[in-house]
Chains A and B, each alone.
Chain A
């Protein structure tokens, strides 16, 4: 009877989810209440978690709670720490949730709300969560080894080296792109620039407090820092209103780019406790608070989604970025559905802290579902604003026109009514000089979030405060990704350089620190600079490049996972990783091919370069712009080469893996697993970690 009741509850949840999805997909008319998105997403996640992840845990991975995890066998109170599953869920989620699931869906909203929302939900359930869960499981069974080490041991040495190079290349592109998002958010905005600049001395203050005054008292120091940050968000309006101070903090794209490059170099080379760690603590608290507030705001306000389910831009002519719905919707959404970068976290800190193997389901699969939900909320926030405003914020002037009137006329001509006065009024209401041409996703998401927040608390009066709170929240944790990523990239450069010249590999050697920091910052800084000076807005070229590289890394992780599952003899269920891997290879290779060779200059890097060469040859470029144009030609060719090299690396890795798979399946080679030996757990069945151990 109890069982029947449970079945009935799950059938109801499934029907409710299916009904909400049908409502979203088939809705035609004026607008749609956002609550349908929440119901559809939550019901689908519940069903996926209850059924699919349970199947993965029981049949595919056969999780074994009698087996001691690395945190039990190697407990050292530092890296290997047995941690309660709720705390570790929070750790893992804070690590995987970055700007990607916020920015990606916001940009993909140009296709309409439907394709992005469907991919966010389905992609997470069948690809992203599967990747995170299985890589976490594989790493637990190998004492917390990284995905690169697992590739080396389980696929081949060459495979491991390729994976390591791919991670470095992807990190460089990622850092360049997220830095561009920050630049576009702060450009010509004294309020936002002041707020973000002030977070640096606040972080230094928190760092000194944590190092010398009350060592390690993260909670009190962070709360103090968060209080100060909220104050500077408020104080930013006084700076914006003061003509002399506003002038100091009104910066263009290029000076902002250089300021961010200098900051990241300093954060990478300075002691971690001084700037990087305290900023990360502050960012973690604000990130958790803002995501919770956005969810509560959407539930409270239940805004109406004004964007149509599909727009005319599915044909590839989108103003935000060019390219057809296939493959670019999937490439653009990236992290909210599946992110290759998560495999680094799932094979990093989390496996060393997990208490029991069965917790991997909740932490690996569950945290990715939550990240997907963040993506759905970002989609709602972006689509809840007037579509004309969305396109005005995210379109470069080379597409819509350089003056407000011409841009408003172009956007209205697409069927999204807009007036220059409405945009000026909105910019004034949020405390900005202008909202035109602010591509990158952050400003439009901030407008969407601010409208939801101000409808909850404060009304129109607080719109500008909420807008700048949202911008600060996005920029703060993008800077955290930047400085933490630069430091990790520095170690990677030192490790690779150390193979050529030993002293360079010593992480404590100051000349090595400075040189490796300069190399990594120089590499991503170049991508940032080319994005800032790109007349098509930068995002058009760089976000797809980021998406391709991220999804290629996910393909690498799924290749490793498939190889391990084959070696474990799980051939019957191999489609679980093989299908998402095949899908990722198809979309990334199609996107790579189109980004390199497409004849449309807005899509193909080489076509754009050739078009510029033709313009120079025809004498259409004035002498003063010749240098800039030649640099633009070089950048397009560089982007084409980077895309080709990344795709080639993954193809080589797949070929290496195919050779392995053939040898295993044809019994030519006995599969050798590199798992740690089985050790029985000494913990009692009810033991739930140190956090609850002293109840």
Chain B
């Protein structure tokens, strides 16, 4: 029973994280992790600048279909 509850909790956590990744909510956290891996702390963008740059890039190429 406890194992099943644990499994459900893990599934819900993963699902929630997947939704955040899917909609872009976790994009800045992902960027921070990536820039930490690449040792780019000095040139790190603020959340606001990252968001503006990200949407500018995303909507400069076909990203919605017919």
Q: Which residues of A contact B (CB under 8 A)?
A: 75-79, 81, 83-84, 86-87, 90-91, 94-100, 146, 174, 178, 210-212, 215-220, 222, 271-273, 276-277, 280-281, 284-285, 334-335, 339, 341-342, 344-345, 348-349, 480-481, 484-485, 487-488, 491, 507, 546, 550, 690-692, 695
Contacts and interface: CB of A to CB of B under 8 A. Distances in A.
Contact of A348 (B50, B53, B63): B63
Contact of B33 (A77, A146, A339, A345): A77
A78 B54 contact: yes
Interface in B2-56: 10, 14, 17-28, 30-35, 37-38, 46-48, 50-56
Given A491-B60, A690-B30, A96 B25 contact: no
Given A277-B55, A484-B59, A90 B18 contact: yes
Contact of A344 (B22, B53, B54, B62): B62
B65 A341 contact: yes
B59 A335 contact: no
B7 to A, nearest CB: 13
Contacts, number: 146
The 3 A-B pairs with the shortest beta carbon distances in the complex, nearest first, are A77-B34, A77-B31, A219-B25
B60 A84 contact: no
A557 to B, nearest CB: 13
Interface of B: 10, 14, 17-28, 30-35, 37-38, 46-48, 50-66
B50 A86 contact: no
Given A78-B57, A211-B48, A277-B55, A349 B30 contact: no
Given A90-B18, A691-B21, A339 B66 contact: yes
Contacts of B38: 75-77
Contact of A87 (B21, B34, B59, B64): B21
B30 A277 contact: no
29 contacts: A76-B34, A78-B31, A78-B54, A81-B34, A84-B18, A90-B22, A91-B22, A174-B66, A211-B51, A212-B48, A215-B47, A215-B48, A215-B51, A216-B28, A216-B48, A271-B52, A272-B55, A273-B52, A277-B55, A341-B65, A345-B62, A481-B64, A484-B59, A488-B59, A690-B30, A691-B17, A691-B21, A691-B26, A695-B14
B34 A216 contact: no
B22 A216 contact: no
Contacts of B60: 487-488, 491, 507
Contacts of A285: 23
B18 A216 contact: no
B47 to A, nearest CB: 4
Nearest to B16: A219
A488 B62 contact: yes
A99 B22 contact: no
Given A218-B25, A277-B59, A491-B60, A550 B66 contact: yes
Contact of B23 (A81, A218, A339): A218
Nearest to B24: A218
Residue among B32, B51, B53, B57 with most chain A CB within 10 A: B51
A96 B62 CA distance: 10
A216 B56 CA distance: 13
Given A276-B59, A692-B17, A81 B30 contact: yes
A21 B39 CA distance: 57
A84 B63 CA distance: 19
B2 to A, nearest CB: 19
A96 B46 CA distance: 31
B51 A95 contact: no
Contact of A79 (B10, B37, B48, B57): B57
A478 to B, nearest CB: 9
Contacts of A481: 64-66
A86 B52 contact: no
Contacts of A95: 63-65
B10 to A, nearest CB: 8
B24 A77 contact: no
B63 A345 contact: yes
A84 B31 CA distance: 15
A219 B20 contact: yes
Contacts of B30: 77, 81, 690
Contact of B64 (A211, A220, A485): A485
Contacts of B62: 341, 344-345, 348, 485, 488
A691 B22 CA distance: 10
Contacts of A97: 65
A174 B48 CA distance: 34
Contacts of A146: 61
Contact of B18 (A77, A87, A491): A87
Contacts of B28: 215-216
Contacts of B66: 98-100, 174, 178, 334-335, 339, 341, 481, 546, 550
Contacts of A81: 30, 34
A611 to B, nearest CB: 31
A154 B50 CA distance: 35
A98 B51 CA distance: 25
A348 B61 contact: yes
